Amino acid sequence: MTLWFVGRGADPATESIGTVSEKSTPDKAYRVYIAWRDGEGWQPMKVEELKQNDKR
């Protein structure tokens, strides 16, 4: 997996946004929204398939 971008979410203390793809298919990228849950760790909240990798 390639991590193209990591940024802050709506609540910078508990949310992040990342852009990821497989190494073999860098143009098939996903935007992943994650949130920290006490006692559980990072949990995915939403995943979007991108039409193009805007972070490449």
* Number of domains making up the chain: 1
Residue 45 included in any domain: yes
Q: Does any domain span residue 10?
A: yes
pLDDT for 21: 98
Residues in the chain with pLDDT values less than 70: none
In a domain, 55, yes or no: no
Structure tokens at 52: 């193009």
Q: Containing domain of residue 16, as a range?
A: 2-49
Assess if residue 38 is contained within a domain.
yes
Cα diameter, the chain: 35
Residue position matching structure tokens 């990798």: 53
Examine residue 39 and state whether it is found in any structural domain, yes or no: yes
Does residue 23 belong to any structural domain of this protein? yes
Instruction: Give the tens place of pLDDT for each residue, 35-44.
Output: 999 999 999 9
Measured CA to CA, the distance from residue 20 to residue 18 in angstroms comes to: 6
> Does residue 28 belong to any structural domain of this protein?
yes
